[in-house]
Amino acid sequence: MTPPTTGDSVPLSLSHEEAWVAHAALLDAGEAAAAAGDDAPPQCRPLRRIERDRPLAPREVVLLRDALVDYLGDAPVRDRAPGRTLLRRVDDAVESRSASTR
């Protein structure tokens, strides 16, 4: 059963291309964490939530932002424009959450 979403969740409406880039970035980050010995990489949860078109928890948005930053450095050309667009939106969401908790 899926846990209910709370007011703390961050809805992200992703285009097909943005969802693809988010998936690739989180998958790369999760694989790197697993290779470093993490048995349950935290990137798996936001990956599943994006695949199901569900909102992300604030900590998952931070994981997505970090994964995008790492991924976009060596991303295929086709992923760069939608990835940068998504990174700006995700970064704005993280910053607005940070500002509201101060």
Q: For 48-93, write each residue's pLDDT tens digit.
A: 999 999 999 999 999 999 999 999 999 999 999 999 999 999 999 8
Number of domains into which the chain is organized: 1
> Does 9 map to a domain?
no
Q: What is the value of pTM for the model shown?
A: 0.86
> Does 1 map to a domain?
no
Q: Give the 3-state DSSP-derived string for the chain, with helices as H, strands as E and coil as C.
A: CCCCCCCCCECCCCCHHHHHHHHHHHHHHHHHHHHCCCCCCCCHHHHHHHHCCCCECHHHHHHHHHHHHHHHCCCCHHHHHHHHHHHHHHHHHHHHHHHHCC
- Structural domain that includes position 28: 16-100
Q: Which residue has the higher pLDDT, 89 or 101?
A: 89
**Rounded to an integer, what distance in angstroms lies between the CA atom of residue 63 and that of residue 70?**
11
> Does 11 map to a domain?
no
**Tens-digit pLDDT profile for residues 34-46:** 999 999 999 999 9
**Rounded to an integer, what distance in angstroms lies between the CA atom of residue 35 and that of residue 99?**
34
